Chains A and B, each alone.
Chain A
Amino acid sequence: MMALRKIAAYAVAVAVLLGVFTLYANPQMIVALGDMVWACFQ
Protein backbone atom coordinates (compact mmCIF):
# COMPACT_ATOMS: atom_id res chain seq x y z
CA MET A 1 0.00 0.00 0.00
CA MET A 2 2.83 2.38 0.97
CA ALA A 3 4.72 1.48 -2.18
CA LEU A 4 1.66 2.23 -4.29
CA ARG A 5 1.20 5.57 -2.57
CA LYS A 6 4.86 6.39 -3.14
CA ILE A 7 4.64 5.49 -6.81
CA ALA A 8 1.47 7.56 -7.19
CA ALA A 9 3.15 10.55 -5.51
CA TYR A 10 6.18 10.27 -7.78
CA ALA A 11 3.91 9.92 -10.83
CA VAL A 12 1.99 13.08 -9.90
CA ALA A 13 5.24 14.98 -9.30
CA VAL A 14 6.67 13.92 -12.66
CA ALA A 15 3.39 14.80 -14.43
CA VAL A 16 3.41 18.28 -12.87
CA LEU A 17 7.05 18.82 -13.82
CA LEU A 18 6.46 17.74 -17.39
CA GLY A 19 3.39 19.97 -17.47
CA VAL A 20 5.51 22.96 -16.46
CA PHE A 21 8.16 21.99 -18.98
CA THR A 22 5.56 22.27 -21.73
CA LEU A 23 5.43 25.99 -20.85
CA TYR A 24 9.05 26.18 -21.95
CA ALA A 25 8.24 24.17 -25.08
CA ASN A 26 5.52 26.58 -26.19
CA PRO A 27 7.04 28.26 -29.28
CA GLN A 28 5.49 31.66 -28.51
CA MET A 29 6.59 31.54 -24.91
CA ILE A 30 10.02 30.24 -25.71
CA VAL A 31 10.84 32.94 -28.24
CA ALA A 32 9.54 35.69 -25.95
CA LEU A 33 11.50 34.29 -23.02
CA GLY A 34 14.65 33.81 -25.07
CA ASP A 35 14.41 37.38 -26.38
CA MET A 36 13.94 38.77 -22.90
CA VAL A 37 16.83 36.80 -21.48
CA TRP A 38 19.13 37.74 -24.32
CA ALA A 39 18.14 41.35 -24.11
CA CYS A 40 20.02 41.42 -20.82
CA PHE A 41 23.27 40.94 -22.70
CA GLN A 42 22.82 43.24 -25.68
Chain B
Amino acid sequence: MQSAAAPKLSMTQVLACGALIVTLSMGIRHGFGLWLLPISQAHGWERGTFSFALAIQNLSWGVFGIFAGMLADRFGAFRVLVGGCVALVLGLAGMALAKDPLTFTLTAGVLIGAAQAGTTYAVVYGVIGRQIDASKRSWAMGVAAAAGSFGQFLMVPVEGALIRNFGWDNALLVLSAIALLIAPLALGLREPGFGSGATPPKREQTILQALGEAFKYPSFQLLMAGYFVCGFQVVFIGVHLPSYLKDKGLSPEVASYALGLIGLFNVFGTYIAGTLGQKMERRKILAGIYFGRSIAISLFLLAPLSPMSVYIFSAVMGLLWLSTVPPTNATIAGIFGVAHLSMLGGFVFFSHQIGSFLGVWLGGLLYDRTGSYDIVWYISIALGIFAAIVNLPVREAPIARGPAPQGA
Protein backbone atom coordinates (compact mmCIF):
# COMPACT_ATOMS: atom_id res chain seq x y z
CA MET B 1 0.00 0.00 0.00
CA GLN B 2 1.40 3.34 -0.99
CA SER B 3 0.75 6.65 0.61
CA ALA B 4 -1.61 8.71 -1.48
CA ALA B 5 0.05 11.91 -0.31
CA ALA B 6 2.78 12.56 -2.86
CA PRO B 7 2.56 11.79 -6.57
CA LYS B 8 5.83 10.27 -7.74
CA LEU B 9 5.46 9.34 -11.40
CA SER B 10 5.20 11.91 -14.16
CA MET B 11 1.73 12.46 -15.53
CA THR B 12 2.93 11.96 -19.11
CA GLN B 13 4.46 8.60 -18.22
CA VAL B 14 1.35 7.41 -16.37
CA LEU B 15 -0.97 8.53 -19.13
CA ALA B 16 1.14 7.21 -22.01
CA CYS B 17 1.72 3.78 -20.49
CA GLY B 18 -1.77 3.48 -19.00
CA ALA B 19 -3.42 4.54 -22.25
CA LEU B 20 -1.37 2.11 -24.35
CA ILE B 21 -2.10 -0.76 -21.96
CA VAL B 22 -5.87 -0.27 -22.07
CA THR B 23 -5.72 0.33 -25.83
CA LEU B 24 -4.19 -3.13 -26.20
CA SER B 25 -6.24 -5.00 -23.61
CA MET B 26 -9.63 -3.48 -24.44
CA GLY B 27 -8.92 -3.60 -28.16
CA ILE B 28 -7.76 -7.21 -28.36
CA ARG B 29 -10.81 -8.49 -26.55
CA HIS B 30 -13.33 -6.35 -28.39
CA GLY B 31 -13.11 -8.22 -31.69
CA PHE B 32 -13.57 -11.71 -30.24
CA GLY B 33 -16.97 -12.08 -31.90
CA LEU B 34 -15.12 -12.32 -35.21
CA TRP B 35 -13.75 -15.70 -34.18
CA LEU B 36 -17.17 -17.23 -33.58
CA LEU B 37 -17.65 -18.62 -37.05
CA PRO B 38 -14.12 -19.78 -37.89
CA ILE B 39 -13.57 -21.50 -34.52
CA SER B 40 -17.02 -23.09 -34.47
CA GLN B 41 -16.55 -24.40 -38.02
CA ALA B 42 -12.98 -25.59 -37.47
CA HIS B 43 -13.93 -27.69 -34.43
CA GLY B 44 -17.44 -28.61 -35.52
CA TRP B 45 -18.87 -26.97 -32.38
CA GLU B 46 -22.25 -25.34 -32.01
CA ARG B 47 -22.15 -21.59 -31.68
CA GLY B 48 -23.41 -21.95 -28.14
CA THR B 49 -20.00 -23.34 -27.14
CA PHE B 50 -18.26 -20.16 -28.21
CA SER B 51 -20.96 -17.90 -26.79
CA PHE B 52 -20.84 -19.73 -23.46
CA ALA B 53 -17.08 -19.18 -23.23
CA LEU B 54 -17.56 -15.45 -23.87
CA ALA B 55 -20.34 -15.25 -21.29
CA ILE B 56 -17.98 -16.92 -18.77
CA GLN B 57 -15.30 -14.44 -19.83
CA ASN B 58 -17.55 -11.49 -18.94
CA LEU B 59 -18.39 -12.94 -15.54
CA SER B 60 -14.78 -13.91 -14.91
CA TRP B 61 -13.74 -10.33 -15.76
CA GLY B 62 -16.25 -9.02 -13.24
CA VAL B 63 -15.33 -11.43 -10.44
CA PHE B 64 -11.55 -11.29 -10.90
CA GLY B 65 -11.83 -7.51 -11.22
CA ILE B 66 -12.57 -7.26 -7.51
CA PHE B 67 -9.53 -9.33 -6.54
CA ALA B 68 -7.27 -7.70 -9.13
CA GLY B 69 -8.27 -4.37 -7.63
CA MET B 70 -7.50 -5.56 -4.09
CA LEU B 71 -4.09 -6.88 -5.17
CA ALA B 72 -3.29 -3.71 -7.12
CA ASP B 73 -4.14 -1.53 -4.13
CA ARG B 74 -2.03 -3.71 -1.84
CA PHE B 75 0.96 -4.74 -3.99
CA GLY B 76 0.90 -2.15 -6.76
CA ALA B 77 -0.53 -2.12 -10.26
CA PHE B 78 2.74 -3.26 -11.87
CA ARG B 79 2.59 -6.82 -10.56
CA VAL B 80 -1.09 -7.18 -11.35
CA LEU B 81 -0.54 -5.84 -14.87
CA VAL B 82 2.29 -8.30 -15.49
CA GLY B 83 0.14 -11.14 -14.17
CA GLY B 84 -2.71 -9.98 -16.39
CA CYS B 85 -0.36 -9.80 -19.36
CA VAL B 86 0.80 -13.39 -18.79
CA ALA B 87 -2.82 -14.54 -18.46
CA LEU B 88 -3.76 -12.71 -21.67
CA VAL B 89 -0.85 -14.19 -23.64
CA LEU B 90 -1.60 -17.71 -22.38
CA GLY B 91 -5.34 -17.26 -22.84
CA LEU B 92 -5.00 -16.16 -26.46
CA ALA B 93 -2.58 -18.97 -27.24
CA GLY B 94 -4.86 -21.43 -25.45
CA MET B 95 -7.82 -20.13 -27.44
CA ALA B 96 -5.89 -20.91 -30.64
CA LEU B 97 -4.75 -24.35 -29.51
CA ALA B 98 -7.78 -25.60 -27.54
CA LYS B 99 -9.26 -28.73 -29.08
CA ASP B 100 -12.22 -29.32 -26.78
CA PRO B 101 -14.95 -27.08 -25.33
CA LEU B 102 -13.70 -27.36 -21.73
CA THR B 103 -10.17 -26.18 -22.56
CA PHE B 104 -11.63 -23.46 -24.75
CA THR B 105 -13.90 -22.24 -21.95
CA LEU B 106 -11.03 -22.26 -19.45
CA THR B 107 -8.72 -20.29 -21.76
CA ALA B 108 -11.01 -18.00 -23.77
CA GLY B 109 -13.41 -17.68 -20.87
CA VAL B 110 -11.83 -17.86 -17.42
CA LEU B 111 -8.21 -17.00 -18.24
CA ILE B 112 -8.88 -14.11 -20.62
CA GLY B 113 -11.58 -12.78 -18.28
CA ALA B 114 -9.02 -12.73 -15.48
CA ALA B 115 -6.51 -11.14 -17.83
CA GLN B 116 -8.97 -8.37 -18.65
CA ALA B 117 -9.49 -7.76 -14.96
CA GLY B 118 -5.76 -7.34 -14.47
CA THR B 119 -5.04 -5.11 -17.46
CA THR B 120 -7.97 -2.72 -17.84
CA TYR B 121 -9.57 0.27 -16.20
CA ALA B 122 -9.81 -0.61 -12.51
CA VAL B 123 -6.09 -1.36 -12.17
CA VAL B 124 -4.89 1.51 -14.37
CA TYR B 125 -7.29 3.96 -12.73
CA GLY B 126 -5.79 3.09 -9.37
CA VAL B 127 -2.41 4.36 -10.59
CA ILE B 128 -3.98 7.45 -12.15
CA GLY B 129 -5.82 8.14 -8.91
CA ARG B 130 -2.69 7.83 -6.80
CA GLN B 131 -0.23 9.54 -9.12
CA ILE B 132 -2.22 12.33 -10.73
CA ASP B 133 -3.47 15.30 -8.79
CA ALA B 134 -7.21 15.45 -8.11
CA SER B 135 -7.44 18.65 -10.14
CA LYS B 136 -6.61 16.64 -13.29
CA ARG B 137 -7.84 13.20 -12.27
CA SER B 138 -11.15 13.10 -14.12
CA TRP B 139 -9.51 14.43 -17.27
CA ALA B 140 -6.74 11.82 -16.99
CA MET B 141 -9.31 9.07 -16.53
CA GLY B 142 -11.04 10.41 -19.63
CA VAL B 143 -7.79 10.11 -21.58
CA ALA B 144 -7.32 6.50 -20.45
CA ALA B 145 -10.95 5.63 -21.21
CA ALA B 146 -10.66 7.27 -24.63
CA ALA B 147 -7.58 5.14 -25.25
CA GLY B 148 -9.53 2.00 -24.39
CA SER B 149 -12.32 3.15 -26.68
CA PHE B 150 -9.79 3.79 -29.42
CA GLY B 151 -8.44 0.27 -28.94
CA GLN B 152 -11.91 -1.17 -29.43
CA PHE B 153 -12.43 0.99 -32.49
CA LEU B 154 -9.06 0.10 -34.00
CA MET B 155 -8.82 -3.59 -33.27
CA VAL B 156 -12.11 -4.83 -34.79
CA PRO B 157 -11.06 -4.16 -38.39
CA VAL B 158 -7.45 -5.08 -37.59
CA GLU B 159 -8.50 -8.43 -36.16
CA GLY B 160 -10.81 -9.00 -39.14
CA ALA B 161 -7.83 -8.41 -41.44
CA LEU B 162 -5.61 -10.72 -39.34
CA ILE B 163 -8.14 -13.54 -39.61
CA ARG B 164 -8.47 -13.10 -43.36
CA ASN B 165 -4.73 -12.93 -43.98
CA PHE B 166 -3.30 -15.42 -41.48
CA GLY B 167 -6.16 -17.72 -40.59
CA TRP B 168 -8.07 -17.66 -37.31
CA ASP B 169 -5.54 -19.65 -35.26
CA ASN B 170 -2.45 -17.76 -36.42
CA ALA B 171 -4.32 -14.50 -35.94
CA LEU B 172 -4.78 -15.41 -32.26
CA LEU B 173 -1.07 -16.23 -31.93
CA VAL B 174 -0.21 -12.86 -33.49
CA LEU B 175 -2.48 -11.17 -30.94
CA SER B 176 -0.86 -13.21 -28.20
CA ALA B 177 2.53 -11.82 -29.26
CA ILE B 178 1.14 -8.28 -29.40
CA ALA B 179 -0.27 -8.71 -25.88
CA LEU B 180 3.30 -9.26 -24.61
CA LEU B 181 3.83 -5.51 -25.04
CA ILE B 182 1.72 -4.91 -21.93
CA ALA B 183 4.54 -6.15 -19.67
CA PRO B 184 7.17 -3.53 -20.65
CA LEU B 185 4.48 -0.85 -20.69
CA ALA B 186 3.58 -1.84 -17.12
CA LEU B 187 7.08 -0.75 -16.07
CA GLY B 188 5.88 2.80 -16.62
CA LEU B 189 3.20 2.27 -13.97
CA ARG B 190 5.59 0.86 -11.37
CA GLU B 191 4.80 3.07 -8.40
CA PRO B 192 7.47 3.89 -5.82
CA GLY B 193 6.50 2.51 -2.44
CA PHE B 194 5.13 -0.78 -3.78
CA GLY B 195 8.47 -2.51 -4.41
CA SER B 196 9.69 -5.46 -2.36
CA GLY B 197 12.22 -3.32 -0.49
CA ALA B 198 9.81 -0.49 0.23
CA THR B 199 8.34 0.10 3.66
CA PRO B 200 4.62 0.52 3.18
CA PRO B 201 3.14 3.42 5.12
CA LYS B 202 0.37 2.63 7.59
CA ARG B 203 -2.97 2.00 5.93
CA GLU B 204 -5.83 4.14 7.02
CA GLN B 205 -8.31 1.35 6.46
CA THR B 206 -8.23 -2.38 5.99
CA ILE B 207 -9.92 -3.89 2.95
CA LEU B 208 -12.91 -4.91 5.04
CA GLN B 209 -13.22 -1.47 6.59
CA ALA B 210 -13.06 0.17 3.16
CA LEU B 211 -15.65 -2.24 1.81
CA GLY B 212 -17.93 -1.81 4.80
CA GLU B 213 -17.71 1.95 4.50
CA ALA B 214 -18.43 1.94 0.75
CA PHE B 215 -21.34 -0.50 0.85
CA LYS B 216 -23.00 1.40 3.68
CA TYR B 217 -22.65 4.68 1.83
CA PRO B 218 -25.78 5.35 -0.25
CA SER B 219 -23.91 7.18 -3.02
CA PHE B 220 -21.77 4.09 -3.68
CA GLN B 221 -24.90 1.99 -4.03
CA LEU B 222 -26.38 4.55 -6.40
CA LEU B 223 -23.23 4.55 -8.54
CA MET B 224 -23.34 0.77 -8.67
CA ALA B 225 -26.99 0.87 -9.75
CA GLY B 226 -26.15 3.36 -12.50
CA TYR B 227 -23.23 1.30 -13.74
CA PHE B 228 -25.44 -1.79 -13.86
CA VAL B 229 -27.67 0.09 -16.30
CA CYS B 230 -24.65 1.17 -18.32
CA GLY B 231 -23.61 -2.46 -18.78
CA PHE B 232 -27.14 -3.53 -19.66
CA GLN B 233 -27.65 -0.88 -22.33
CA VAL B 234 -24.21 -0.94 -23.92
CA VAL B 235 -23.95 -4.69 -24.28
CA PHE B 236 -27.56 -5.16 -25.34
CA ILE B 237 -27.11 -2.62 -28.13
CA GLY B 238 -23.60 -3.77 -29.05
CA VAL B 239 -24.65 -7.39 -29.39
CA HIS B 240 -28.22 -7.18 -30.62
CA LEU B 241 -28.25 -4.04 -32.80
CA PRO B 242 -26.93 -5.88 -35.88
CA SER B 243 -29.60 -8.52 -35.48
CA TYR B 244 -32.26 -5.82 -35.01
CA LEU B 245 -31.15 -4.06 -38.19
CA LYS B 246 -31.17 -7.33 -40.07
CA ASP B 247 -34.75 -8.02 -38.97
CA LYS B 248 -35.72 -4.60 -40.25
CA GLY B 249 -34.26 -5.39 -43.67
CA LEU B 250 -31.18 -3.19 -43.62
CA SER B 251 -27.99 -4.29 -45.37
CA PRO B 252 -24.85 -5.66 -43.64
CA GLU B 253 -22.94 -2.51 -44.61
CA VAL B 254 -25.27 -0.43 -42.43
CA ALA B 255 -24.46 -2.60 -39.40
CA SER B 256 -20.74 -2.30 -40.00
CA TYR B 257 -20.88 1.47 -40.41
CA ALA B 258 -23.02 1.63 -37.28
CA LEU B 259 -20.35 -0.25 -35.29
CA GLY B 260 -17.66 2.00 -36.75
CA LEU B 261 -19.56 5.16 -35.82
CA ILE B 262 -20.20 3.92 -32.28
CA GLY B 263 -16.47 3.23 -31.95
CA LEU B 264 -15.44 6.57 -33.42
CA PHE B 265 -17.77 8.72 -31.34
CA ASN B 266 -17.08 6.65 -28.24
CA VAL B 267 -13.50 7.96 -28.29
CA PHE B 268 -14.74 11.55 -28.31
CA GLY B 269 -17.45 10.84 -25.74
CA THR B 270 -15.16 9.31 -23.13
CA TYR B 271 -12.63 12.10 -23.50
CA ILE B 272 -15.28 14.83 -23.30
CA ALA B 273 -16.90 13.22 -20.24
CA GLY B 274 -13.55 13.03 -18.46
CA THR B 275 -12.77 16.65 -19.29
CA LEU B 276 -16.21 17.84 -18.22
CA GLY B 277 -15.73 15.98 -14.95
CA GLN B 278 -13.09 18.56 -13.98
CA LYS B 279 -15.47 21.44 -14.59
CA MET B 280 -18.89 20.39 -13.40
CA GLU B 281 -20.56 18.04 -10.97
CA ARG B 282 -20.04 14.49 -12.17
CA ARG B 283 -23.39 13.29 -10.86
CA LYS B 284 -25.01 15.69 -13.32
CA ILE B 285 -22.80 14.42 -16.15
CA LEU B 286 -23.80 10.85 -15.35
CA ALA B 287 -27.49 11.73 -15.10
CA GLY B 288 -27.20 13.54 -18.43
CA ILE B 289 -25.54 10.55 -20.09
CA TYR B 290 -28.16 8.07 -18.90
CA PHE B 291 -31.03 10.39 -19.69
CA GLY B 292 -29.48 11.14 -23.09
CA ARG B 293 -29.35 7.42 -23.85
CA SER B 294 -33.06 7.06 -23.08
CA ILE B 295 -33.88 9.99 -25.32
CA ALA B 296 -31.67 8.65 -28.13
CA ILE B 297 -33.21 5.17 -27.96
CA SER B 298 -36.74 6.60 -27.86
CA LEU B 299 -36.14 8.81 -30.89
CA PHE B 300 -34.47 5.93 -32.74
CA LEU B 301 -37.53 3.75 -32.20
CA LEU B 302 -40.00 6.52 -33.03
CA ALA B 303 -38.28 7.79 -36.19
CA PRO B 304 -38.70 5.95 -39.49
CA LEU B 305 -35.84 3.47 -39.74
CA SER B 306 -33.30 4.24 -42.46
CA PRO B 307 -29.52 3.98 -42.84
CA MET B 308 -29.30 7.67 -41.89
CA SER B 309 -31.34 7.20 -38.72
CA VAL B 310 -29.08 4.28 -37.79
CA TYR B 311 -25.96 6.36 -38.36
CA ILE B 312 -27.25 9.28 -36.30
CA PHE B 313 -28.30 6.91 -33.50
CA SER B 314 -24.91 5.20 -33.61
CA ALA B 315 -23.03 8.49 -33.44
CA VAL B 316 -25.11 9.72 -30.49
CA MET B 317 -24.89 6.39 -28.66
CA GLY B 318 -21.15 6.34 -29.38
CA LEU B 319 -20.80 9.69 -27.62
CA LEU B 320 -22.64 8.24 -24.60
CA TRP B 321 -21.12 4.73 -24.83
CA LEU B 322 -18.26 4.43 -22.30
CA SER B 323 -18.49 8.07 -21.25
CA THR B 324 -19.81 6.87 -17.89
CA VAL B 325 -16.44 5.33 -17.03
CA PRO B 326 -14.37 8.45 -16.16
CA PRO B 327 -17.04 10.29 -14.12
CA THR B 328 -18.02 7.13 -12.22
CA ASN B 329 -14.45 6.25 -11.24
CA ALA B 330 -13.48 9.87 -10.54
CA THR B 331 -16.49 10.19 -8.25
CA ILE B 332 -15.47 7.05 -6.33
CA ALA B 333 -11.95 8.46 -5.96
CA GLY B 334 -13.40 11.79 -4.84
CA ILE B 335 -15.62 10.23 -2.18
CA PHE B 336 -13.44 7.46 -0.77
CA GLY B 337 -9.92 8.55 -1.71
CA VAL B 338 -7.48 6.54 -3.79
CA ALA B 339 -6.12 4.00 -1.32
CA HIS B 340 -8.70 1.35 -2.29
CA LEU B 341 -9.73 2.84 -5.63
CA SER B 342 -8.94 -0.21 -7.76
CA MET B 343 -10.89 -2.53 -5.47
CA LEU B 344 -13.92 -0.23 -5.22
CA GLY B 345 -13.74 0.35 -8.98
CA GLY B 346 -13.67 -3.43 -9.37
CA PHE B 347 -16.86 -3.80 -7.33
CA VAL B 348 -18.65 -1.14 -9.35
CA PHE B 349 -17.44 -2.80 -12.52
CA PHE B 350 -18.79 -6.13 -11.28
CA SER B 351 -22.21 -4.50 -11.17
CA HIS B 352 -21.61 -3.33 -14.74
CA GLN B 353 -20.83 -6.87 -15.81
CA ILE B 354 -23.99 -8.25 -14.21
CA GLY B 355 -25.90 -5.66 -16.23
CA SER B 356 -23.97 -6.68 -19.36
CA PHE B 357 -24.80 -10.31 -18.83
CA LEU B 358 -28.49 -9.54 -18.35
CA GLY B 359 -28.51 -7.24 -21.39
CA VAL B 360 -27.24 -9.98 -23.69
CA TRP B 361 -29.26 -12.73 -22.08
CA LEU B 362 -32.56 -10.88 -21.79
CA GLY B 363 -32.14 -9.52 -25.31
CA GLY B 364 -31.92 -13.03 -26.72
CA LEU B 365 -34.51 -14.54 -24.39
CA LEU B 366 -37.21 -11.94 -25.01
CA TYR B 367 -36.50 -11.97 -28.73
CA ASP B 368 -37.04 -15.73 -28.78
CA ARG B 369 -40.25 -15.42 -26.73
CA THR B 370 -41.82 -12.44 -28.50
CA GLY B 371 -40.15 -12.36 -31.91
CA SER B 372 -38.97 -8.78 -31.45
CA TYR B 373 -36.62 -6.61 -29.42
CA ASP B 374 -39.32 -4.11 -28.51
CA ILE B 375 -39.61 -5.08 -24.84
CA VAL B 376 -35.84 -4.93 -24.29
CA TRP B 377 -35.68 -1.52 -25.98
CA TYR B 378 -38.40 -0.31 -23.60
CA ILE B 379 -36.56 -1.79 -20.63
CA SER B 380 -33.42 0.04 -21.79
CA ILE B 381 -35.28 3.34 -21.94
CA ALA B 382 -36.81 2.84 -18.49
CA LEU B 383 -33.45 1.79 -17.01
CA GLY B 384 -31.81 4.89 -18.49
CA ILE B 385 -34.32 7.13 -16.78
CA PHE B 386 -33.88 5.16 -13.55
CA ALA B 387 -30.08 5.53 -13.74
CA ALA B 388 -30.39 9.26 -14.41
CA ILE B 389 -32.59 9.68 -11.36
CA VAL B 390 -30.41 7.61 -9.03
CA ASN B 391 -27.24 9.45 -10.01
CA LEU B 392 -28.63 12.88 -9.20
CA PRO B 393 -28.55 12.53 -5.39
CA VAL B 394 -24.97 11.15 -5.37
CA ARG B 395 -22.83 13.10 -2.89
CA GLU B 396 -19.43 13.75 -4.46
CA ALA B 397 -17.78 15.33 -1.44
CA PRO B 398 -15.12 13.28 0.38
CA ILE B 399 -16.64 11.04 3.00
CA ALA B 400 -16.25 12.26 6.58
CA ARG B 401 -14.14 9.84 8.63
CA GLY B 402 -13.22 9.66 12.24
CA PRO B 403 -9.64 9.09 13.41
CA ALA B 404 -7.84 6.10 11.88
CA PRO B 405 -8.44 2.88 13.84
CA GLN B 406 -5.59 1.55 15.98
CA GLY B 407 -3.49 -1.07 14.28
CA ALA B 408 -5.38 -0.83 11.02
Contact = CB atoms under 8 A, between A and B. Distances in A.
Partners in one complex: yes
A23 B150 CA distance: 13
Interface stretch (B31-39, B95-103, B134-142, B205-213): B31-39
B206 to A, nearest CB: 42
B154 interface: yes
A40 B34 CA distance: 9
Interface residues of A, number: 21
A40 B36 contact: yes
A22 B253 CA distance: 13
Contacts of A38: 242-243, 246, 252, 255
A28 to B, nearest CB: 9
Contacts of B243: 38, 40-41
B253 A36 contact: no
A41 B368 CA distance: 12
Contacts of B160: 29, 32-33, 36
The A interface is mostly helix, strand or loop, or mixed, namely: helix
B256 interface: yes
Given A17-B153, A20-B153, A41-B246, A34 B252 contact: yes
Interface in A1-42: 17, 20-21, 23-27, 29-41
A33 B242 contact: no
Contacts of B112: none
B213 to A, nearest CB: 39
Contact of A24 (B37, B246, B256): B256
A10 B157 CA distance: 23
B157 A33 contact: yes
Contact of B157 (A17, A20, A27): A20
Contacts of B230: none
Contact of B259 (A24, A25, A27, A40): A24
B164 interface: yes
B48 to A, nearest CB: 11
A21 B253 contact: no
Among A32, A33, A34, residue most surrounded by chain B Cβ atoms (within 10 Å)? A33
B253 A40 contact: no
A20 B264 CA distance: 9
Contacts of B47: 40
Contact of A39 (B36, B164, B253): B36
Contacts of A32: 160, 164
B20 interface: no
B150 A17 contact: yes
A34 B256 contact: yes
Contact of B156 (A25, A27, A31, A33): A33
B259 A37 contact: yes
Nearest to A39: B37
A9 B361 CA distance: 41
The 4 A-B residue pairs with the shortest CB-CB distance, nearest first, are: A34-B252, A24-B260, A23-B157, A41-B243
28 contacts: A17-B264, A17-B267, A20-B150, A20-B157, A24-B259, A25-B257, A25-B260, A27-B253, A30-B257, A31-B253, A31-B256, A32-B164, A33-B157, A33-B256, A34-B252, A37-B242, A37-B256, A38-B252, A38-B255, A39-B36, A39-B37, A40-B33, A40-B36, A40-B47, A40-B51, A40-B239, A40-B242, A41-B246
